[in-house]
Amino acid sequence: MLNTIIKKNAYQDSVNLMLLTNHVSALQGVYQASIMMGTPANKDIMRNSGLYTEELEQAGANDMCIVIDAEGDDKLDQILAAVDEFLSDQSVSTSQSSTTSVRSWERAIKESPNANLAMISVPGQYAAAEAEKALDYGLHAFIFSDNMPLEEELKLKQKAHEKGLLVMGPDCGTGILSGVPLAFANRVKAGNIGVVGASGTGIQEVTTLIDRMGGGISHAIGTGGRDLSEGVGAITMMDGIRGLANNSQTEVIVVISKPPAREVRDKVMLELHGLSKPVVALFLGEKPACHEGHVYQAYTLEETARIAIDLGKGVSVQAAYSVPIEAPSVELKPEQVSIQGLYAGGTLAAEAAMLIADALQLQDGLIHESGYVLRSNGHSIVDLGDDMYTQGKPHPMIDPATRIQHIENAAADPSTAVILFDVVLGYGGHDDMASVLAPAIGKAAAKAREEGRNLYFVAALCGTHQDPQSYTEQKRKFEEAGVIVKESNNQAVRTVLAMMKLDMEDMPKHHRPAEAAAASTKPASEAIEALLSSKPAVINVGLSKFTASITESGAAVVQYDWRPVAGGNAKMQHILHQLNQYRFEE
């Protein structure tokens, strides 16, 4: 029987509610649970999951909705006590924080008159309005929120460009500005390499590899995954490149993107050829045969990092950056023929799929099916961070439950030979992923042995030794569980390919002069130059956990404890937004 409890005016951010849902779901006697705010979108999720009740009709966007399917009504009091205890712990944690908290934009600006960046992590349907307010106050916007319509993204970026501001996002998972990690980012050493990336985990992989190879990062500007689409036209990418080109800390520029629209890609390349600084460009999915002028093109995220390191040291770029791979000896049954990739990082999943498709010589490259990045010849790569798997659930970098379920399913398949996965450390991620995944891996491997099969696990560990989680300890815990741990996604995938006796050939790149001299790049705006000249002063709108990395980096931050205005009433919100716009125009 479904029990529904509505807690009026008890707003909590989505991450807290997702973790609370997992906490309640694990209680004895609970079959299923869902705890969300009463927004229309969340009600649709409950409806689709079979947890919708008539009582939810009375809930508003500021009301917490608790729906529980338990074995008996007598369990309900115990479950509600667990909910109250969890929320109480969150309140205590918040009250002990030294970060100033406010409840309005006006108060946030008053508390931080020198603020120049707004981090926005509110539910997607509200993100555009909050970003527009940030721009009206003269702030750059870092939009972690996703599910924003493309036309709203374009409108925001056009407005920002006209004002000389940056809009990083939406769905921007990673950024580093003057050593300050933003959202899901890593603690990296300072240096002379600047990054602009339409890829969150792509930025994380490249910046952490550069750190562990002895280099350092000046800035890493995330653009959001759609920035290089035909509909947006690389507005943030172009402004970010110009910002790094005019930044004295930056001597080498790295550009990373998932497959872009062809015309947009060519526009970006023309801009890069107009720079006076050396550039490394990675457009995932392309396999370049040459470098041109001072623009060096990479095939993998690891090669991108290695070229950038050499350029940063003033060392000649090599024709190839092949890393010797020693394949562990494996004993497999004849039916064990498949690689199962279970990824938390979308770009890392795409890179794994690209390399496997290359080894399999798939003429069509990546093969997309619902929920898969690649599925061919028995092999599959799944991006568990995709909306298909995260709707109403925490991201797999935060919560391992979805991945554990997929590990169990893959291990039960007699055709599975190797399970390949990534672990992304850093701010925003799970505190100790190895301690949670290792027992599940050990259990799956033991079950396979009982059935007469050897099952192998290979992990790509992304992070630095300065991250909140101990890189060394995470690696040790996985290796003790029998996992083969590699320090790059590229090496992890190639190790798996070698185990499966699949070959890959790296073609040396030749170097040629640029075909034509390009015009010098346009200067960056004063506001962008100012943002990149010192640590940002941040107004954090939404997820309070994002303040930790900012304060630990010595930057100023004010926490805006956001709530849906007008009780979530869409019509009233639109009226208030129009009035707000009129006020700024006046």
Q: Is residue 110 pLDDT above 90, yes or no?
A: yes
Cβ proximity of 424 and 204 under 8 Å: yes
Q: Is residue 47 pLDDT above 80, yes or no?
A: yes
The string of pLDDT tens digits covering residues 159-182 is: 999 999 999 999 999 999 999 999
Within this chain, do residues 119 and 266 fall inside the same structural domain, yes or no? yes
The string of pLDDT tens digits covering residues 298-329 is: 999 999 999 999 999 999 999 999 888 988 99
- Output the pLDDT for position 408: 96
DSSP-derived secondary structure for 254-277: EEEESSPPHHHHHHHHHHHHT-SS
Distance CA 200, CA 396 (A): 14
Cis peptide before 260 (omega within 30 of 0): no
User: pLDDT-derived band of residue 10, with 50, 70 and 90 as boundaries?
Assistant: confident
Within this chain, do residues 419 and 444 fall inside the same structural domain, yes or no? yes
Query: Which residue, of 499, 534, 556, is where some domain finishes?
Result: 499
User: Which amino acid, one-letter code, is at 33?
Assistant: A
- Output the pLDDT for position 515: 76
Within this chain, do residues 87 and 134 fall inside the same structural domain, yes or no? no
Q: Is residue 429 pLDDT above 80, yes or no?
A: yes
Percent of the chain past pLDDT 70, that is, above it, reads: 92
Tokens in use for 135? 């721009």
Tell me the Ramachandran region of residue 396: left when phi exceeds 0, alpha when psi lies from -120 to 50, beta otherwise: alpha
- Output the pLDDT for position 26: 78
Over the chain, what is the mean pLDDT? 90
Q: Is residue 350 pLDDT above 80, yes or no?
A: yes
- Output the pLDDT for position 368: 60
Rounded average pLDDT over 358-378: 78
pTM value is 0.89
More confident call, 586 vs 485: 485
- Output the pLDDT for position 468: 95
Within this chain, do residues 142 and 256 fall inside the same structural domain, yes or no? yes
CATH code where residue 48 lies: 3.30.70
Within this chain, do residues 305 and 415 fall inside the same structural domain, yes or no? no
- Output the pLDDT for position 95: 52
Residue 509 belongs to some domain of the structure: no
Largest CA distance in the chain: 77
Question: Directed axis angle between helix 570-585 and helix 124-136, to 10°?
Answer: 10
- Output the pLDDT for position 97: 61
More confident call, 333 vs 367: 333
Distance CA 567, CA 126 (A): 12
- Output the pLDDT for position 50: 84
More confident call, 391 vs 373: 373
Query: Which residue, of 42, 75, 95, is where some domain finishes?
Result: 95
CATH code where residue 122 lies: 3.40.50.261
For 94-103, 121-130, 413-422, 556-565, which range has the lowest pLDDT when averaged over its residues?
A: 94-103
- Output the pLDDT for position 566: 53
Q: Is residue 365 pLDDT above 60, yes or no?
A: no
The string of pLDDT tens digits covering residues 72-109 is: 777 788 888 888 888 777 665 555 566 899 999 999 99
User: pLDDT-derived band of residue 567, with 50, 70 and 90 as boundaries?
Assistant: low
Rounded average pLDDT over 30-50: 86
Residue 408 belongs to some domain of the structure: yes
- Angstrom distances, CA of residue 227 to CA of 87, 151, 166, 346: 37, 12, 12, 16
Within this chain, do residues 405 and 444 fall inside the same structural domain, yes or no? yes
Cβ proximity of 210 and 309 under 8 Å: yes
Within this chain, do residues 84 and 106 fall inside the same structural domain, yes or no? no
HSE (side-chain half, CA atoms, 13 Å) at 169: 29
User: pLDDT-derived band of residue 517, with 50, 70 and 90 as boundaries?
Assistant: low
User: pLDDT-derived band of residue 153, with 50, 70 and 90 as boundaries?
Assistant: very high
Q: For Cα atoms 507, 508, 514, give the angle at the middle one, nearest 5 degrees.
A: 120
Residue 255 belongs to some domain of the structure: yes
User: pLDDT-derived band of residue 505, with 50, 70 and 90 as boundaries?
Assistant: confident
User: pLDDT-derived band of residue 25, with 50, 70 and 90 as boundaries?
Assistant: confident
User: pLDDT-derived band of residue 424, with 50, 70 and 90 as boundaries?
Assistant: very high
Distance CA 132, CA 155 (A): 9
Within this chain, do residues 239 and 297 fall inside the same structural domain, yes or no? yes
User: Which amino acid, one-letter code, is at 396?
Assistant: P
Residue 583 belongs to some domain of the structure: no
- Output the pLDDT for position 574: 55
Within this chain, do residues 227 and 134 fall inside the same structural domain, yes or no? yes
Q: What are phi and psi of 191, to 5 degrees?
A: -170, -160
Within this chain, do residues 230 and 370 fall inside the same structural domain, yes or no? no
- Output the pLDDT for position 34: 87
Q: Is residue 32 pLDDT above 90, yes or no?
A: no
Query: Which residue, of 72, 95, 118, is where some domain finishes?
Result: 95
- Output the pLDDT for position 441: 98
Checking DSSP bridges between strand 64-70 and strand 117-120, what pairing results, if any? Answer: unpaired
3-state secondary structure of 315: coil
Range of the structural domain that residue 118 is part of: 101-320+524-568
Q: Is residue 448 pLDDT above 80, yes or no?
A: yes
Within this chain, do residues 464 and 552 fall inside the same structural domain, yes or no? no
What are the beta bridge partners of residue 339?
Answer: 418
Rounded average pLDDT over 483-509: 94
Per the structure, the count of domains in the chain is 3
HSE (side-chain half, CA atoms, 13 Å) at 250: 32
The string of pLDDT tens digits covering residues 263-287 is: 999 999 999 999 999 999 999 999 9
Q: Name residue, tokens 């002063």.
A: 537
Residue 333 belongs to some domain of the structure: no
Q: For Cα atoms 450, 452, 457, give the angle at the middle one, nearest 5 degrees.
A: 85
Within this chain, do residues 241 and 217 fall inside the same structural domain, yes or no? yes
- Output the pLDDT for position 203: 98
Residue 504 belongs to some domain of the structure: no
Rounded average pLDDT over 17-27: 80
Residue 327 belongs to some domain of the structure: no
Residue 229 belongs to some domain of the structure: yes
